[in-house]
Amino acid sequence: MNAPRLHRSGLDKSLAIGGVILILLQVLLIADMRMQVAVVLFGILVNQIGVWGLAERLMPDRRTNLELRSEVDAFISLIRKLSRLGTKCDAATLEATQSDMHESVDRIAAIAVDGRGEDSSDQGSGGARAA
């Protein structure tokens, strides 16, 4: 699993719940009507940020190697193609798809080693995991 994505997902849920809690607590703890209105509006804002998943937009993914992402997406589409073909395809189609997958893996490795467009904070973090 992708840890930053899970973190942002948890942040969205926390913001949604936190906004509701903030709205409910203001009724119990704040006596001034103007302050109650301000806290309720702030609570609604926090809640909606969480509900609409705006934390994803406010905390964008820091990886910038679009060429690598594009090649990985192409590889995933080859996996889906292979899955669709299943046992119903002939040997030539299966071998062609496997060959395309091997070529894609080679391109992924070349792009990853080259590091074109990669954010310096992410370099070196994924190279230790070779399968």
What is the residue extent of each domain of the chain?
3-58, 66-114
Q: Which residue has the higher pLDDT, 65 or 98?
A: 98
Q: Residues 67, 70, 71, 73: what is their CA dihedral angle, to the nearest 10 degrees?
A: 160
**Neighbouring C-beta atoms of residue 129, cutoff 10 Å:** 6
Distance spanning both ends of the chain, measured CA to CA: 15
> In residues, how long is the chain?
131
- Name the token pair of 32: 């001034």
Mean pLDDT of 75-83: 90
pLDDT on residue 105: 93
Crossing angle of helices 91-114 and 66-85, rounded to 10°: 160
In angstroms, the CA 77 to CA 109 distance is 17
Is residue 33 within 8 A of residue 90, CB to CB? The reply is: no
Looking at residue 25, its amino acid is L
Mean pLDDT of 111-115: 82
In angstroms, the CA 59 to CA 119 distance is 15
In angstroms, the CA 14 to CA 128 distance is 32
pLDDT on residue 36: 86
Q: Is the pLDDT score of 106 beyond 70?
A: yes
In angstroms, the CA 102 to CA 97 distance is 9
pTM metric for this prediction: 0.44
